[in-house]
Amino acid sequence: MTKTSPEAAAVSPEESARLMRLATYASITVAIILVLAKTVAWAITDSVSILATLIDSTLDSLASLINLFAVRQAVMPADREHRFGHGKAEALAGLGQSAFIAGSAGFLLLESGRRLMSPVPLESYGPGLVVMGFSIVLTLALITFQRHVVRKTNSTAIKADALHYRTDFMVNGSVILALVLAIEGWHGFDALFAIGIAIYILYSSWEIVRQSLDDLMDRELPEEEREAIKRIAMSHAEVRGLHDLRSRRSGIATFLQLHIEVADNLSLLHAHRISDEVERELQQAYPAAEIIIHVDPESIVPLEPVPEFLQNP
């Protein structure tokens, strides 16, 4: 599972939701502009590499539309039917996006293989180079904004969308190179680059699947974050120990559950106050987290059975 950035940990749920919505609107706008521009360029040049980027941008626009609805659902507050919130909508959208991406890669491999076996000279180069240069600039601007949003929100859906456009950025660069080589008479590179693009698209789709499954299967937070959580809890002067730490992420929300150990002779009120103080410290580090802390007298901890997977908190 990917690590939560310090910026993401410090951002409120409301600000995260606002940034995620802006990112989805920006990606849809950019995708539509790129589809229109690349359609014109492909019609003029008949380049299979430009066709590759056109297919990718078309599917990006559909994926970004899915993201828009997923993000709107994911940032909705918890309700009676969904008391842990709606964050897993992001992961479901990620799986949907991966299907789009894998499908585009399969089509592209078939088209590239056909073109490699029967090369067709490109009809025009200038419009293709202009459009691909424009695409690189526009895509770079979007990637920069998406990276900012991911740092602030750690959103799975925006990460998946950003992965599409990082792929686009590299694809557009390779297409420019293919067009330049075609000017020199090396027409076969057009199809070869398209095959390379398709392989990278397949790799990207697997990355999205892996990240989405981590969220859906409630994978633990990265070990560095778990250690940070332990340090915060153990920094309280009256906390003698910690065990049964469990963590998971659902969209922009984080869920933490842990047991702290305190002295046997404390009153229930005093122990509760310690729990509240530890919770406040953790909440400062993870404003969007839902935290459950159970307090145990330290003498009973050795007597309680602990599942093997929790024996090392």
pLDDT at position 130: 84
pLDDT value of residue 2: 53
Structural domains in the chain, CATH included, are: 6-216 (1.20.1510.10), 223-310 (3.30.70.1350)
**Would you state the pLDDT for residue 237?**
94
User: Which pLDDT does position 94 carry in this prediction?
Assistant: 80
Least Cα distance to 246 among 229, 258, 228 occurs for 258
Rounded Cα gap, residues 64 and 25, in angstroms: 8
The 10s digit of each residue's pLDDT in 235-276 is: 999 999 999 999 998 887 889 999 999 999 999 999 999 999
Give me the pLDDT at residue 308, please: 67
* Helix, strand, coil content of the chain in percent (nearest 5): 70, 10, 20
Q: What is the pLDDT of residues 148-192, one digit of tens each?
A: 998 888 787 788 788 778 877 877 777 777 777 777 777 667 677
In this prediction the pTM is 0.69
Q: CA of 262: how far to CAs of 49, 185, 233, 305, in Å?
A: 65, 77, 12, 18
Q: Mark the ranges of the chain whose per-residue pLDDT is less than 70.
A: 1-10, 49, 119-125, 187-188, 190, 306-313
Of 169, 102, 122, residue with least CA distance to 141: 169
User: Residue 248 has which token pair?
Assistant: 């998971």
Q: What is the distance between the alpha carbons of residues 81 and 58, in angstroms, rounded to a whole number? A: 35
- Rounded CA-CA distance 19/150 in Å is 9
